[in-house]
Homo-oligomer: A and B are copies of this chain.
Amino acid sequence: MSQRSIQAEKLGILGGGQLGRMLIQSALDFNLDIKILDPDENAPCKKVSGEFVIGKLTDFDTVYNFGKDCDIISIEIENVNTDALKRLQSEGKKVFPQPEVIELIQDKRIQKQFYQANNIPTAEFILTENRNDVSNYKDFLPAVNKLGKEGYDGRGVQVLRSESDLGKAFDAKGLLEKLINFKKEIAVIVARNEHGEITSFPPVELVFHPEANLVEYLFAPAEISKAVALEADTIAKKVISKLNMVGLLAVEMFVDQDDQVLVNEVAPRPHNSGHQTIEANYTSQYEQHLRAIFDLPLGSTEALIPSAMVNLLGEDGYSGQAKYEGLNAVMEQKGVHIHLYGKKLTKPFRKMGHVTIVDRDVAALKEKVNFVKQTLKVIA
């Protein structure tokens, strides 16, 4: 039997941000040959990738030419040129997640229709064409108004509470989603390899920043009943199966007041809701992504210890050369791991790093989350 040598293959990643950087950190263990494409010459991956190409992720020629000498192409951001990826795929390259999956997820309207068509529970919705169209649905309020395309990191999503909010509706193709009065927001990260093997990480509980619409911190495991956890796990596995996707998929879900689990959004790549797996689980989400796309056996997703993750966002009111205040104080705490993303410049709510905290005692874990949130600041 001639065994495949993954060390002899070149992996191209579209996007060179923090997710790519942590993926490279993990890929070093397998001695993989990685090439990065990113428009920013100071992207977090710049100094740590053997090959770094500067170019626009949404440009056909750039993506196509980047991928031509790769064996496998993957992403760390969804907003990429999928036509180029389809062309590369048709020429025999492995593209994981598949371009069709990326396209489906790029457009929140198609994403919602996919859930509906596959009986995957999700909040009730109405597709809207423009601002004027939204105003037809004042009886549907309060609702979340989402842009169909190009929403990212909290952008392109807003709540319309009442008729007086209709004027600020997005004036482009989008949707209205019933505002869910949820108890919890949770996420399950699933992975699937080419053999069709599927694994899921235990559900985590997400707490969002009230202003920035970004994950502020998370806990793992989520404090939910076994039944809710099982339901979330089943849904996440159903989504990746129905997508027929190869790679890693983060499935964000609401748990409503009646313990119904509803899919909110998905991301077909390593995700903010899985950072803590680096320290807290047998296999990290980054290693799992690599295992999935190289068709290796998937690793155990079990947690070694309860964990939390605090996003280190640029402090409001500061822009410029980043400085980290309180680093020593948080590093004195047992089980605290700092991850800085190598971004020189900070601005309000920019994701500059994260902190993972592990502790066998969940109450102590929560105290440390508060301590880290209060102590560690990114200023300029």
Among the listed B28, B304, B328, B342, which residue makes an inter-chain contact with A304, where contact means beta carbons less than 8 Å apart? Answer: B304
Which one, B50, B291, B325, contacts A331 given CB within 8 A?
A: B291
The answer to the question of A137 belonging to the interface, with a C-beta cut-off of 8 Å to chain B, is no
Q: Determine the distance from Cα of A335 to Cα of B299 in the docked complex, in whole angstroms.
A: 8
- Judged by a CB distance under 8 angstroms, whether A257 is at the interface is no
Interface flags for A17-30 (1: CB within 8 Å of B; 0: not) read 00001000100111
Cβ-based interface call for A68 (8 A): no
A340 contacts B31, C-beta separation under 8 Å: yes
Q: Is A324 among interface residues, defined by CB-CB distance under 8 A? A: yes
Hey, which chain B residues are within 8 Å of A5, CB to CB? 323-324
- With the chains together, A3 CA to B377 CA distance in Å? 13
Partner among B21, B30, B300, B332 whose Cβ is within 8 Å of the Cβ of A340: B30
Q: Is A341 at the interface (CB under 8 A from chain B)?
A: yes
Where chain A touches its partner, the secondary structure class is mixed
| Option from B29, B47, B302, B338 in Cβ contact (under 8 Å) with A338 | B29
A296 within 8 A of B: yes
Chain B's closest residue to A278 (CB) is: B29
Interface members, chain A 2-53 (any B CB < 8 Å)? 3, 5, 7, 21, 25, 28-31, 47-48, 50
Contact A297/B341 with A5-B324, A28-B25 known, Cβ cut-off 8 Å = no
Q: Which residues of B contact A345 (CB under 8 A)?
A: none
Q: Which of B7, B282, B358 contacts A282 (CB 8 A)?
A: B358
A131 within 8 A of B: no
Q: Is the CB of A29 within 8 A of B339?
A: yes
| A226 on the B face (CB < 8 A) | no
Does A300 contact B31, Cβ atoms closer than 8 Å? no
Please, could you name 25 A-B residue pairs with CB atoms under 8 Å apart, sorted by A?
A3-B323, A7-B324, A21-B28, A25-B28, A29-B338, A30-B338, A30-B340, A31-B341, A31-B342, A31-B353, A47-B50, A48-B50, A282-B334, A282-B335, A282-B358, A296-B327, A296-B328, A296-B331, A297-B328, A297-B332, A299-B331, A300-B335, A304-B304, A304-B305, A304-B358
The 7 closest A-B pairs by CB, nearest first: A47-B50, A31-B340, A300-B334, A297-B332, A31-B342, A29-B339, A297-B331
